[in-house]
Amino acid sequence: MYSTGGTPHSGEFSDLARRDRAGAVAAAWLESGRIPHAVLICGAEGTGKRRFALAWAKALLCIGSGPSACNRCPSCRKVASLMHPDLHTALPLPPRRGRQKPSPADLRESVVEYVHGASVALPSNANIAVDHLRQLQRELAFAPTESPRKVGLIFAAERMHPAGANSLLKLLEEPPARAVVVLVAAAPERLLPTVLSRCQRMILSPLDAATLRAQLEQEGVAGERLELAVRMGAGSLQQAKEVACGAFDGTRRLVESFLSGGSEQRDEVYWSVLEELGGDRGQLERFLQVCGLYLRDLFLLAHGRDASVVQVDRRPYLENLLEKIDAARVALEIDRAAETLGHNANPQLVLTDLWRGLRRGGPVLAPPPDPSLARARRW
């Protein structure tokens, strides 16, 4: 089903012009005026889903004259601050003590922080409460007050409580005539199939290097750090910003110590890295991700593709490491570690197995470290 109430506006998307399917789909819908009643905006982390969703809502609710969203009318300003009476939102929140319900002001503050704070991460135990979804459905059932339609934005929709997702189905099956439901998800496969089947998708592709570079330059990032952030960002603005501000520096230091220590059979390095990671699953995931980038760079150097190296500031280190390890064998060990961790294995055991594999990947084959002897040496 499609909504044709009011004249849509397309100009707002000029600020987020995307040369991908999502941009083309959005432009076509806005130009034709045939807006789906349920839209799923999806894509990897850091590809701009929040900003894209907010721009989409602004274009749908704008009341300015002319063929494009003016970005100046009261409606546009209210959407930007999430204060529009025809815009309603839902966001995963962590459980509260005593089951206290957050006030509307608290909920709005959380949504504003999430939408406008690019690096804000949701707690692992957060989910969208059934009550919040039911309230959103009640609000969308009323007629719009200022704009030609009402918009419901559900951020991190894959974290909907199952009961809430089932209750949302009625809204998706029989939507109010002038309401648009927008789901935003990084992992759409976690949504109920019945929800997915009722949504039109806008899939955001990773950002291109030119877009990342322009955005980072606007924020004052320059030189070698800019190039490193663009390459390590891998199409994610969020990750590129983290690299630019040094959030990956500690992980890169650990990875270099780990790879060098393993190739030289220095078992004390293993214990040092284990202590710093602390058995944290999230930190180990990032550690393995950066390990993979280093191994990719080694392959590129080995095949004369120096210009494509990601760790542009660590060329001397990479060239030295290339002579010490069997890069192909170590790469397989890293892939196996990532796969094992994905199957919910103990992070410490995953790191231990990776260390043993790394030692075997060096030029000199040595027996795996004996944990009991290593602990004895530490004491």
Please give the residue that has the higher pLDDT: either 70 or 234.
Answer: 234
User: Crossing angle for the helix pair 237-244 and 209-218, nearest 10 degrees?
Assistant: 50
pLDDT tens per residue across span 181-231: 999 998 898 899 999 999 999 988 888 888 889 989 998 999 999 999 999
Q: What is the pLDDT of residue 119?
A: 54
Answer yes or no: do 96 and 150 share one domain: yes
Q: What is the mean pLDDT of residues 265-282?
A: 89
- Domain termination site, one of 205, 239, 265: 205
Q: Count CB atoms within 10 A of the CB of residue 360.
A: 17
Q: Count CB atoms within 10 A of the CB of residue 7.
A: 13
Q: Which letter does DSSP use for residue 302 in this model?
A: H
Answer yes or no: do 256 and 196 share one domain: no
Does residue 134 fall inside a structural domain?
yes
- Asked if residues 351 and 266 have their Cβ atoms less than 8 Å apart, the reply is no
Does residue 38 fall inside a structural domain?
yes
Q: What is the CATH number of the domain that holds 184?
A: 3.40.50.300
Answer yes or no: do 252 and 200 share one domain: no
Helix (H, G, I), strand (E, B) or coil at 373: helix
* DSSP H/E element including 142: none
Answer yes or no: do 187 and 289 share one domain: no
Answer yes or no: do 271 and 185 share one domain: no
Does residue 239 fall inside a structural domain?
no
Answer yes or no: do 198 and 267 share one domain: no
Answer yes or no: do 272 and 195 share one domain: no
Does residue 327 fall inside a structural domain?
yes
* Neighbour-count burial for 190-206, b at 16+ CB within 10 Å, e otherwise: ebeeebbebbebbebbb
Q: Give the count of alpha carbons within 13 A of 233, CB side only.
A: 28
Candidate from 48-62, 101-115, 236-250, 321-335 with smallest mean pLDDT = 101-115
Q: What is the CATH number of the domain that holds 329?
A: 1.20.272
Answer yes or no: do 51 and 171 share one domain: yes
Answer yes or no: do 196 and 74 share one domain: yes
For residues 224 and 315, what is the distance between their CA atoms, to the nearest angstrom?
12
Q: What is the mean pLDDT of the chain?
A: 82
Site of tokens 């494009």? 68
For residues 161 and 134, what is the distance between their CA atoms, to the nearest angstrom?
12
Q: What is the pLDDT of residue 124?
A: 66
Which tokens belong to 114?
Answer: 């999430």
Does residue 56 fall inside a structural domain?
yes
pLDDT tens per residue across span 111-170: 777 777 655 567 667 788 888 888 888 999 999 999 989 999 999 999 887 888 888 888
Does residue 82 fall inside a structural domain?
yes
Answer yes or no: do 361 and 279 share one domain: yes
Q: What is the pLDDT of residue 379?
A: 30
Give the C-alpha distances (Å, rounded to integers) separating 159 from 45, 94, 95, 126, 196: 15, 11, 13, 7, 14
Please give the residue that has the higher pLDDT: either 19 or 105.
Answer: 105
Does residue 360 fall inside a structural domain?
yes
Answer yes or no: do 259 and 344 share one domain: yes
Q: How far apart are the first and last CA of the chain?
A: 69
For residues 172 and 180, what is the distance between their CA atoms, to the nearest angstrom?
9
Count up the domains in the chain and report the number. Answer: 2
Does residue 217 fall inside a structural domain?
no
Answer yes or no: do 186 and 302 share one domain: no
Long-range own/partner contacts, residues 119-124 (CB < 8 A, 24 or more apart): 119/238, 119/241, 119/242, 122/92, 122/156, 122/159, 123/94
Its domain, for residue 308, covers: 248-378
Please give the residue that has the higher pLDDT: either 102 or 45.
Answer: 45
**171 pLDDT more than 50:** yes
- Domain termination site, one of 205, 233, 267: 205
- Domain termination site, one of 174, 205, 236: 205
